[in-house]
Chains A and B, each alone.
Chain A
Amino acid sequence: MKDSYDILVVGGGPAGAVAARTAAEAGLSVLLVEKRSAVGVPVRSGESIGKDELLEFIEAEQRFIKAEIDSSVLIGPDSSKKTIHDGETIILDRKIFDRELIWRAAEAGAEIQVHARASAPIMEGEKVCGAVIEQHGKRYEVRAKIVIAADGIESKFAKWAGIDTTIPLDGIKSCAQYLVNDIDIDEKEMQFYISPEDAPGGHLWIFPKGKRSANIGVGILGTESADGKRACDYLNHFVEKNYPNGKITERSVGGVPVCKPLKETAADGILIVGDAARLSNPVTGHGIYNAMFTGRLAAEAAVSAVKNGNTSKEFLMAYDRAWRESDMGKEHERNCLVKENMA
């Protein structure tokens, strides 16, 4: 680890990896720190992404594709079914996919450090100038012209830098998911159960991961969560009832932001991307595409800022405007309205 870089990326998920790759490809010096000892685990994702969305960032490789889906079935409270054919969806293996994205960043020239945690920002007045990195019991002060906060749902970096990132209880889905094997499913079809019995304020999903295997998960609105009525309770109930002989080989939990995005996703010396910026889809919970999309846009803004010698908030807000004005940003705004009207 050096003591200074052009760009410091905090977090090694899809947002951080794409940001690091983009900035490194433009010739900047980049350090990416991931606090976990490995990238891609534990999985906290339904692992689905539109095929076209995926292809904007990486070629479709069989290594990280578990299933290709051609239809979605929505199942209502009265067991009514509606089938939607809305383009192809890929179910990823995030353990492999996330590592592939990180490898691409490394290939482009970014330095990757795992089990390395940004524990505090280095501030000069209001300006973020780097971070304290803790790794294997050692402490490093790493200065950077710009920090890209890609630290996900549990994002602390932007909060330390003075930006309010707290999610209200009615702005988060509390989720639990099992990878269930040896079950009868149509491996080309995703299912969404939308009813207050299965998932109050949210939905339950079945995303096939190949033959006889699927991610079965539930997300409920934070305000609906209570003892005996938690995401894991709804999931256990559903799986025991519908797949009593399924073999659970992976359990994961997570929070998905379904609130509005941060009011501002840039400040002096810092850009905030992906789940850290609260940019997952508030209706479906999808977040991988928005993470990669904003990761790339943030890196492009950072490259321009470094080349212009201006890393002020005023300059970096070009990133904030860029994603809000993009198709992704407009769709996100529409989805926020849909979510508000559902409540």
Chain B
Amino acid sequence: MITIRREVCGYCGACVSVCPSGALELIDAYLSVDSVLCKPKCKLCSTVCPLGAILRSEE
């Protein structure tokens, strides 16, 4: 699972474009995550983020 640091997020959508499961969506200026679709071991969104706004919690 991931945690979005909303005070850091620049709502740019880079994370949405690399998510293979379609778990992320930028709704207006609000990044939402679908916890059912989000894959536990994946960290692509957290890697690509220009600001470091997505934290991956350890399993």
Interface residues of A (CB under 8 A from B): 35-37, 42, 44, 115, 117, 152-156, 159-160, 165-169, 172, 174-176, 222, 225-227, 230-232, 251-255, 257
Q: Decide if B36 is an interface residue (CB 8 Å cutoff).
A: no
List of B residues within 8 angstroms of A155 by Cβ: 17
CB pair B12–A172 under 8 Å, yes or no, is no
A-B contact count (CB 8 A): 98
List of A residues within 8 angstroms of B16 by Cβ: 153-154, 156
B27 to chain A: closest residue by CB: A117
CB pair A230–B51 under 8 Å, yes or no, is yes
B39 to chain A, nearest CB (A): 12
Cβ-defined partner of B47 (8 Å) among A117, A154, A169:
A169
Cα A137 to Cα B27 in complex, Å, equals 13
CB pair B29–A253 under 8 Å, yes or no, is no
**Number of chain B interface residues as a range:** 20 to 34
CB pair B50–A231 under 8 Å, yes or no, is yes
Cα A257 to Cα B12 in complex, Å, equals 13
List of A residues within 8 angstroms of B40 by Cβ: none
Cα A36 to Cα B27 in complex, Å, equals 8
30 contacts between A and B (CB under 8 A): A115-B28, A117-B28, A153-B12, A153-B14, A153-B16, A154-B25, A156-B22, A156-B25, A159-B22, A165-B17, A167-B17, A169-B18, A169-B47, A172-B18, A172-B48, A175-B14, A176-B50, A176-B51, A222-B18, A225-B48, A225-B49, A230-B49, A230-B50, A230-B51, A232-B51, A252-B10, A253-B14, A255-B15, A255-B18, A255-B48
Cα A254 to Cα B28 in complex, Å, equals 15
List of A residues within 8 angstroms of B50 by Cβ: 174-176, 225, 230-232, 253-255
CB pair A35–B28 under 8 Å, yes or no, is yes
In the complex, besides A166-B19, A174-B49, A255-B18, 11 extra interface pairs with C-beta distance below 8 angstroms are A152-B13, A153-B12, A154-B13, A169-B18, A174-B48, A176-B50, A232-B52, A252-B10, A255-B17, A255-B48, A257-B17
